[in-house]
Every structure is written in C-alpha cells, then in structure tokens.
C-alpha cells in the first residue's frame, strides 16, 4: 500500500501546483477541490452454513461508520456539465454483535466483532449543475463510480473468530456505484462550498461466523466540498 500512498501524495502535489497556477489567471474550465465525507453503513446478517462445528456462531445486524477525504479535479466540458476525478483516503470501522450457542446445553454466549480497515480510492463522477439562483447558489445532481480501491490489511477484534480458518474473512468491492445531489454556495470570489448527500452501492462481506454471513450493500453520507472556482 506504500506505493499507493506515494501516488496519492503526488496527486495532491499536482492539485497544489494547479491551484497556484490558476489563481490570478483567466477563467478556466478546470477547478480543483478538497472534500471531507462522514459515512455510515448498515450491516445485515443472514443464515449460512459456512463451516461445520458443534458450537455455531451467528452474527446480528450492526453498524459501520467511517470517513473519507481527498482532493479532486473538476472539468466543465459543456454548460452545466462537468466531470470529476480524484484520489480519496477512507477509514471504515465495522461493529456488530455475534452469539455462540452450545448445542448440548443451549447456552448462548454473546460477543462482538470489530473490523477496521483503510483504503485508497480513485472515484470519478459525472455532474450536472442546474441554473444559478440568487447569490450564485445552485443545485446539482450526479452519478459516479470507484475505478479502483486498494485496501490495507484489516484489523480484527473478535470474540470467537480464529484467524486462519478462512482465506479471506473480509471482502470489499473494488468498484461501486453512487448517486448524489447537492447545493453549492460561493463563500468568496474564489471558493465554492457544497453539501452533497449521497447513496452508494458498495457490496462487502464478513465471513467471521460459522452459521451466518454479514454483508453491507449500501453506504450513505454527506460530502462537504470546497472548490477553487477558476
């Protein structure tokens, strides 16, 4: 993952050089920006006979929270239409309850699974801006995807799972699909602030129990963006 961090550092250096070169010049269709995005995802567990055992473990529904941030370029290629691309860093924390049942006695012991991992992502999106309102405010909608994602090694804090019993206990999709909307407001002559709620299809799976699968299908969040309007 070190090489990917170097790539991200070079991309942010390029953003800085572009923002410096554009300031004070003529109007350009290429803007640079940064964002910070809190995220939330819901974990669902369903029965599945994964591994034979006399003491089965079953997960329950839970919650995943995280945050993302990064830099991006936005190019206006037609009136109202623009394309975005950038590099993001994200960190996810997943937490849900797991129960272990002793079949001979019927005793149930409760524990928790906590899985955390970081990733570097390359998102792209297509954005449509509606006509300007008063004070140069405007609404926007868009769709996007993740071209690729490099995940770091996940860390586990589990009650019953033994490492090595599953080849890949955490599976995260490299590609996603996102729909979003938003509202832009200029905070100065040079900068535009936007708030963009989104919904993303991001299939992920945790195989830490012997009698259930824990999955994530959707992620939602609010992306707060600050863009240098060239």
**pLDDT per position as a tens digit, 178-206:** 999 999 999 998 899 999 999 999 999 98
Which of 65, 126, 129 lies closest to 92 in space, CA to CA?
65
- In this predicted structure, what is the pLDDT of residue 12? 47
Average pLDDT, the chain: 86
**Does residue 105 surpass a pLDDT of 90?**
no
CATH code at position 55: 2.40.160
Query: pTM of the entire structure?
Result: 0.82
46 membership: H or E segment, kind and range: strand 30-47
Domain range for 202 is 2-228
3-state DSSP: the chain helix, strand, coil percent, rounded to 5?
10, 65, 25
- In this predicted structure, what is the pLDDT of residue 165? 65
**pLDDT per position as a tens digit, 47-70:** 887 667 767 888 999 999 999 999
In the chain, how many domains are there? Answer: 1
**Does residue 210 surpass a pLDDT of 90?**
no
């Amino acid at each position: 993952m070190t090489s990917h961090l170097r790539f991200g550092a070079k991309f942010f250096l390029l953003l800085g050089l572009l923002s410096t070169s554009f300031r004070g010049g003529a109007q350009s269709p290429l803007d640079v920006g940064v964002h910070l995005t809190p995220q939330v995802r819901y974990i669902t567990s369903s029965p599945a006979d994964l591994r034979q055992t006399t003491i089965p473990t079953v997960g329950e529904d839970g919650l995943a929270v995280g945050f993302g941030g990064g830099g991006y370029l936005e190019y206006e290629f037609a009136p109202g239409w623009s394309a975005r691309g950038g590099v993001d860093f994200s960190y996810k924390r997943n937490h849900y309850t797991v129960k272990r049942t002793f079949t001979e006695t019927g005793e149930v012991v409760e524990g928790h699974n906590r899985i955390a991992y970081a990733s570097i992502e390359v998102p792209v999106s297509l954005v449509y801006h509606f006509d300007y309102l008063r004070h140069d405010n405007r609404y926007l909608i868009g769709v996007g995807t993740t071209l690729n994602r490099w995940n770091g090694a996940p860390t586990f804090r589990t009650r019953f799972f033994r490492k090595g019993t599953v080849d890949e206990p955490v599976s995260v999709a490299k590609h996603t699909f996102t729909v979003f909307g938003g509202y832009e407001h200029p905070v100065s002559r040079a900068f535009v602030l936007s708030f963009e709620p989104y919904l993303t299809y991001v299939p992920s799976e945790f195989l830490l129990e012997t009698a259930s699968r824990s999955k994530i299908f959707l992620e939602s969040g609010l992306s707060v963006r600050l863009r240098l309007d060239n």
